Amino acid sequence: MISVNEEIIDINDLFKKKYHLKKLLQEKNISNNYDVINVVGTNGKGSVSNFISQGLQKKYSKVGLFTSPAFLFHNERVQINGTPISDDDLIRILDNIKNNFSEYELTFFEIWTLIAFIYFNKNNIDIAVIEAGIGGMYDSTKHFSNQIAVVVTSIDLDHVEILGYDIKSIIEQKLGIINNKKAKIFLASDNIKYISNIKETLKHEDFVFADDYSKVSSYQKINSGLALKVLNYFGINENDFDITKTPLGRFTILKKYPHLILDGSHNVDGIRKMISSIKEISDDFTVLFATSKEKDYTNMFELLNNNFKNIFVTDFNHFKSWKVPKELSSYKVESWKEFIDSFKGNLIVCGSLYFIPQVYEYLSKGE
């Protein structure tokens, strides 16, 4: 498969802001011929999308999953029944659509959304779980039709420069993914604190809050409970599949005694939930943290510093990596690889989902 470190799509597409996928779909007469469950939210989208797609395989022959970001391989973004798109199929689709990239000024994420459209149609899937990128109202995943359900994971402030600087704006953006008034709407349990904003935005749409699932760690109680609420609606229960099988990088325990845990907690709400789960294991953890440059590193660092005795920060090899600011230079680790190799106690490595895969790949290869 194709490593996320390989540029199979021009990285400059990431910076285009025209959002012309809708125009392309209309002019090329491309639409999806399968039912769609859209997943939006701030935290937990990847876990919830994976849980739901796993469970749906007990009822449907072909279940598509569109998710991001990729962890190790680009192919992971587009899957059928848990199997990523093959290199041959991916390259074939890219060759057929690459002339449209500049013509329609497609963003990186729009290109992947288009790949999912084409691949799922070609394989005549029954249903697809579609994870949004950012927001919902203007997200390219809103262009999938035949929407039968919308799943809203934990909502908090993130990508504020795009979605707005207050919860009301964030909620409006997330719920803007709805394109079918008859779609069933499921919300994570911790969103109930925003009930007034949600009611104001949804008006008369049919929505329900999920319960927490008590049989897993606190980190996944909300996500598992939400996924199970959705699956119960489709006649699938917790005994039909493994609800504890989380995606790589979501509180992944690589070893115990001492613990080494990787977690892609990349915003304030994610850090809070990670801390809660760590405290269930031990109070004696050291933190190695790296984030993306556009994130709220000040509040994330403050949360970590208030909850752990020892915290270190670092940067990593990616164009989105932050550069550790001068005020945190006393906490900085120059080489995260050397630091991890030499560390002896309980360690949680957390932060950007661009950083965590690099750590996982390094440790897996034993380099």
Alpha-carbon distances, residue 185 vs 144, 148, 151, 181, 363 (angstroms): 16, 9, 6, 10, 40
Residue 76 pLDDT > 60, yes or no?
Answer: yes
Task: Note whether residue 143 is domain-resident.
Answer: yes
Task: Note whether residue 343 is domain-resident.
Answer: yes
Give tens-digit pLDDT for 219-241: 788 999 999 999 999 999 888 77
Distance CA 159, CA 191 (A): 18
Task: Provide the Cα torsion 105, 110, 116, 118; round to 10°.
Answer: -20
Where among 217, 240, 263 does a domain terminate? Answer: 240
Distance CA 355, CA 82 (A): 24
pLDDT recorded at residue 82: 94
User: pTM for the full model?
Assistant: 0.86
Tell me the helices (H) and strands (E) count for the chain, helix number first. Answer: 13, 13
Task: Note whether residue 124 is domain-resident.
Answer: yes
Q: What is the mean pLDDT of the chain?
A: 88
Distance CA 91, CA 95 (A): 6
Where among 218, 240, 262 does a domain terminate? Answer: 240
pLDDT recorded at residue 15: 41
**Do 228 and 262 sit in the same domain of this protein?**
no
**Do 88 and 132 sit in the same domain of this protein?**
yes
Task: Note whether residue 247 is domain-resident.
Answer: no
The partner residues of 220 in beta bridges, in order of sequence, read none
**Do 204 and 332 sit in the same domain of this protein?**
no
pLDDT recorded at residue 13: 46
Task: Give the domain range for residue 215.
Answer: 11-240
**Do 262 and 288 sit in the same domain of this protein?**
yes
pLDDT recorded at residue 10: 52
Task: Note whether residue 304 is domain-resident.
Answer: yes
Which residue has 């493994």 as its token pair? 242
What number is the average pLDDT over the span 166-182? 88
Q: How many CA atoms does the CB half-sphere of 328 hold within 13 Å?
A: 23
What number is the average pLDDT over the span 331-355? 94
Where among 207, 240, 273 does a domain terminate? Answer: 240
**Do 230 and 355 sit in the same domain of this protein?**
no
Indicate the pairing of strand 207-209 with strand 35-40: unpaired
What number is the average pLDDT over the span 28-54? 93
**Do 155 and 51 sit in the same domain of this protein?**
yes
Indicate the pairing of strand 83-84 with strand 78-80: antiparallel
Residue 12 pLDDT > 50, yes or no?
Answer: no
Using DSSP's 3-state secondary structure scheme, residue 349 falls into strand
**Do 107 and 235 sit in the same domain of this protein?**
yes
Which CATH number goes with the domain that contains 191?
3.40.1190.10
Strands lying side by side in the sheet with 127-131? 83-84, 78-80, 63-66, 127-131, 35-40, 147-152, 184-187, 207-209
Tally of structural domains, the chain: 2
Which CATH number goes with the domain that contains 326?
3.90.190.20
Distance CA 35, CA 155 (A): 25
3-state SS string over 9-32?
CCHHHHHCCCCCHHHHHHHCCCCC
Task: Note whether residue 50 is domain-resident.
Answer: yes
